[in-house]
C-alpha cells in the first residue's frame, strides 16, 4: 500500500472516529428529565397493592450537542424509591436534538409487580404517604443510537423526585381548646408541612372557620389568608385567634384549609377536634323571701312579701327572663300570682337580683308559695319542701326556724383530683370528682344527704354509676363539699353525666344543659 493510500485510510478512520465521538458527545451531553408520569389510575397506592401498574412516561430531552442524533430505541429499567418495578420502552424512534432544541419521548408499559415482595410493596406505600405522594423515580438503560449502518448503545440514567397529583402541603389544624363560650377568644394552630424531598413549596393558604350546623349548609364565619413558602422537609406553625359567638342550632366551629384556592383539609367531624360552643346559661345562686326587712319562711295573711332571686351568668348571657311567684295548689294546677319579664344581659360571672312583691293570701286549697325562673333554653323551680317555699300561717314566723334546710350553692367537676382543674368535657377513661356544695340556711341542719352521679342516656333509662350517702350536721350558713369519684366513660348511647342529690323529702338535679353536665368524647 502506498503512502497516499495510507494517508487516505487514516483520514477516513479519523473522520469516522471523530463523527462517532461527535455522536457520542451529542447523545451523552443532552439533558434528560421526567416531564410527566401517569400510572393509569388516580390512586398509586391501590395500583401498587394490586400488583399491576400501567405506567406512562414522558421525557423531555434538551439538546446540548452540535448535531441531532437519531435513536432507534430506548429501553429503561424503572425504579421507585430504589425498588425495581420493570422495564419501559419508547414508542417508536426519535432524535436527540441538537443544542437549543427539545424533543419529547413517550415510554409506555404495563408492569407486572408480582415479583416484588409484600414487604417491599408496603415500604413503597408508606414512603409515598410519608412524602405526600412524592416519589423518587430512577430510570437506567440504553439508547440505541443509529450511526450509518451501525447501532451504538449509549447508557442513560435519570433520577428525579416527582409529585403524583397536585403540589400541596400537608396541613393539620387544631383548636387550643375543646370547648368555649360565646365571647371567648380561642386560638387555633395550623401546622403546614412541606413533606417533599425535592420540591420547594410556595402558595397562598386560606384558613376558613365555619359554623357546624345540623341539616343545613355550614356557614362561613371568618377566613384568614397567609402566603407560605417552605423549603423541602420544612414545617411552619400559624396561630390565629377567633372570637366565638352563638346562634340557634349551632353545634360548634370547624376549620377548612385551601391551598391556592383548592380545598386540601377539612377538620374531622368529631368533637374534638372541632370546637364545641356552649350556650350561655343562667345560674340561680340564691332564692329567699323578705317581709318587714327580714328573711322569712312563713307570713300572715295580708303581709307584704318580697320574693328575691340572685342569678349569675355562665358565659355572656342575654335573654328575656321571666320571674314568677306561684301558688302551690292542692289537687289543682298551680297558679301564677305575679310575674315579671326582665331583659337580662350579663357578662360571664356577673350577678343580678330579681325581685317581685305581692300580698300574701290564705287559701284552703294552697300549701303556700314558690318561685320559678324561666328563660329561652331552661328554667328553675324552687325545691318542693317547706322551707324554702313560703307558707301562710295564722301567726307569722318572721325569724328563721330552729331547724334549717339545705340549699345548693354550687356544683362542678374536677379531673384526676378533688383539687384538680374544673372541667365540663373530658376524654374517655378520665378519673372525675363530682362536687356538690351545699349550705345550711335558716338554721342548723342535721340529716342524711345522698349524692348520685347519673349517666345521661339517649333513648334508654338513666343509670346511677356512683353514689355516696353522708350524715351531715351543719350550723347555719355552714357549707359542705359533698364529693364522689368515678371514671368517666364514652358511650355512643350516652350524652354524658349529671348529679342528683336527695335529702329529707327534697330532690335536686343538675340542670339538663351541657355544661354544667359533663360530656365525654372518645
Place of cell 495510507: 6
pLDDT at 254: 97
328's CB contacts (< 8 A; 6+ apart) are: 334, 366, 367, 368, 369, 370, 389
Other beta carbons less than 10 A from residue 478's beta carbon = 14
The SS3 assignment for 415 reads strand
The SS3 assignment for 129 reads helix
Which domains are seen in the chain, by residue range?
21-163 (2.60.40), 170-277 (2.60.40.10), 280-399 (2.60.40.10), 400-522 (2.70.50.60)
pLDDT (average), residues 314-342: 91
Residues 447, 473: Cα–Cα separation, whole Å? 7
Q: Positive or negative CA dihedral for 61, 67, 73, 77?
A: negative
Residues 108, 36: Cα–Cα separation, whole Å? 12
CB of 439 within 8 A of CB of 465? no
Burial class (CB in 10 A: 0-12, 13-18, 19+), 397: middle
CB of 56 within 8 A of CB of 78? no
Distances (CA, A) of 185 to 175, 219, 244, 250, 254: 11, 19, 6, 17, 15
Percent of the chain whose predicted confidence (pLDDT) is above 70: 93
Q: Which helix (H) or strand (E) holds 118?
A: helix 118-130
pLDDT at 29: 79
CB of 232 within 8 A of CB of 197? yes
pLDDT (average), residues 466-490: 91
Nearest residue to 84 via CA among 107, 114, 56: 114
Residues 413, 40: Cα–Cα separation, whole Å? 57
Residue 149 has pLDDT above 70, yes or no: no
Other beta carbons less than 10 A from residue 389's beta carbon = 21
**What's the whole-number average pLDDT of the chain?**
86
pLDDT (tens digit per residue) in 366-403: 999 999 999 988 899 998 888 899 999 876 444 444 46
| pTM recorded for the entire structure | 0.58
Strand 179-180 with 275-277, pairing: parallel
Distances (CA, A) of 50 to 42, 112, 124, 125: 14, 10, 13, 12
Residues 387, 297: Cα–Cα separation, whole Å? 6
CB of 87 within 8 A of CB of 109? yes
pLDDT (average), residues 239-262: 92
Distances (CA, A) of 399 to 74, 165, 289, 314, 402: 107, 82, 11, 33, 9
Residues 432, 416: Cα–Cα separation, whole Å? 6
Residue 200 has pLDDT above 90, yes or no: yes
- Cell numbers given for 59: 421525557
Q: Which residues pair with 123 in a beta bridge?
A: none
pLDDT at 6: 64
Which pLDDT band holds residue 276 (cuts at 50, 70, 90)?
confident
- Cell numbers given for 266: 377539612
Q: What is the DSSP letter of 93?
A: -
CB of 195 within 8 A of CB of 135? no
- Cell numbers given for 56: 406512562
pLDDT (tens digit per residue) in 424-444: 888 899 999 999 999 888 788
129's CB contacts (< 8 A; 6+ apart) are: 45
Q: Which residues pair with 56 in a beta bridge?
A: 38, 108
Residue 146 has pLDDT above 80, yes or no: no
Which pLDDT band holds residue 496 (cuts at 50, 70, 90)?
very high
pLDDT at 401: 47
Q: Which helix (H) or strand (E) holds 373?
A: strand 366-375
CA atoms within 13 A on the CB side of 149: 0
Question: Got the DSSP string for 131-165?
Answer: TTTEEEEEEEEEEEEEETTEEEEEEEEEEEEEESS
Residues 466, 435: Cα–Cα separation, whole Å? 13
Strand 519-521 with 425-427, pairing: parallel
pLDDT (average), residues 407-418: 88
Nearest residue to 465 via CA among 438, 493, 487: 487
pLDDT (tens digit per residue) in 172-194: 999 988 888 887 889 999 999 99
pLDDT (tens digit per residue) in 339-358: 999 999 988 778 899 999 99
Residues 255, 343: Cα–Cα separation, whole Å? 35
Amino acid at each position: 500500500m502506498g503512502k497516499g493510500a495510507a494517508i487516505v485510510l487514516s483520514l477516513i478512520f479519523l473522520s469516522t472516529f471523530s463523527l462517532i465521538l461527535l455522536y457520542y458527545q451529542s447523545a451523552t451531553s443532552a439533558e434528560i428529565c421526567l416531564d410527566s408520569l401517569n400510572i393509569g389510575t388516580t390512586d398509586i397506592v391501590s395500583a401498587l397493592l394490586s400488583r399491576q401498574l400501567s405506567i406512562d412516561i414522558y421525557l423531555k430531552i434538551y439538546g446540548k450537542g452540535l448535531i441531532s442524533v437519531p435513536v432507534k430505541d430506548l429501553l429503561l429499567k424503572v425504579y421507585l424509591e430504589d425498588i425495581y418495578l420493570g422495564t419501559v420502552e419508547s414508542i417508536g424512534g426519535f432524535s436527540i436534538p441538537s443544542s437549543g432544541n427539545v424533543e419529547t419521548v413517550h415510554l409506555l408499559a404495563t408492569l407486572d409487580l408480582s415479583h416484588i415482595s409484600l414487604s417491599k410493596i408496603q415500604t413503597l406505600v408508606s414512603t409515598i404517604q410519608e412524602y405526600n405522594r412524592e416519589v423518587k423515580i430512577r430510570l437506567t438503560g440504553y439508547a440505541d443510537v443509529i450511526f450509518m449502518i451501525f447501532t451504538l448503545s449509549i447508557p442513560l440514567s435519570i433520577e428525579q423526585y416527582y409529585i403524583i397529583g397536585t403540589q400541596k402541603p400537608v396541613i393539620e389544624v387544631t383548636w387550643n381548646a375543646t370547648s368555649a363560650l360565646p365571647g371567648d377568644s380561642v386560638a387555633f394552630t395550623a401546622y403546614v408541612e412541606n413533606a417533599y424531598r425535592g420540591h420547594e413549596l410556595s402558595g397562598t393558604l386560606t384558613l376558613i372557620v365555619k359554623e357546624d350546623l345540623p341539616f343545613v349548609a355550614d356557614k362561613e364565619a371568618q377566613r384568614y389568608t397567609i402566603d407560605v413558602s417552605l423549603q423541602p422537609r420544612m414545617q411552619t406553625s400559624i396561630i390565629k385567634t377567633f372570637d366565638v359567638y352563638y346562634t340557634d342550632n349551632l353545634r360548634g366551629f370547624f376549620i377548612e384549609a385551601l391551598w391556592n384556592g383548592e380545598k386540601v383539609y377539612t377538620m374531622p367531624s368529631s368533637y374534638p377536634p372541632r370546637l364545641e360552643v356552649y350556650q350561655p346559661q343562667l345560674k340561680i345562686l340564691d332564692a329567699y323571701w323578705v317581709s318587714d326587712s327580714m328573711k322569712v319562711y312563713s307570713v300572715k295573711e295580708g303581709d307584704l312579701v318580697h320574693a328575691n332571686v340572685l342569678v349569675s351568668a355562665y358565659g355572656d348571657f342575654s335573654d328575656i327572663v321571666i320571674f314568677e311567684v306561684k301558688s302551690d295548689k292542692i289537687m289543682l294546677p298551680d297558679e301564677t300570682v305575679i310575674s315579671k319579664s326582665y331583659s337580662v344581659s350579663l357578662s360571664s360571672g356577673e350577678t343580678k337580683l330579681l325581685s317581685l312583691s305581692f300580698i300574701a293570701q290564705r287559701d284552703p286549697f294552697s300549701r303556700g308559695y314558690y318561685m320559678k325562673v324561666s328563660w329561652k333554653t331552661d328554667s328553675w323551680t324552687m325545691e318542693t319542701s317547706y322551707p324554702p317555699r313560703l307558707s301562710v300561717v295564722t301567726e307569722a314566723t318572721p325569724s328563721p326556724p330552729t331547724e334549717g334546710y339545705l340549699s345548693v350553692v354550687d356544683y362542678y367537676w374536677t379531673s384526676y383530683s378533688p383539687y384538680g382543674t374544673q372541667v365540663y368535657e373530658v376524654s374517655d377513661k378520665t378519673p372525675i370528682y363530682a362536687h356538690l356544695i351545699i349550705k345550711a340556711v335558716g338554721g342548723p341542719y342535721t340529716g342524711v344527704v345522698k349524692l348520685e352521679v347519673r349517666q345521661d342516656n339517649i333513648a334508654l333509662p338513666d343509670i346511677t354509676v356512683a353514689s355516696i350517702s353522708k350524715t351531715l350536721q351543719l350550723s347555719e350558713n355552714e357549707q359542705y363539699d359533698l364529693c364522689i369519684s368515678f371514671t368517666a366513660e364514652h358511650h355512643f348511647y350516652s350524652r354524658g353525666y349529671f348529679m342528683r342529690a336527695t335529702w329529707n323529702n327534697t330532690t335536686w338535679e343538675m340542670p339538663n344543659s351541657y355544661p354544667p353536665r359533663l360530656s365525654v368524647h372518645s
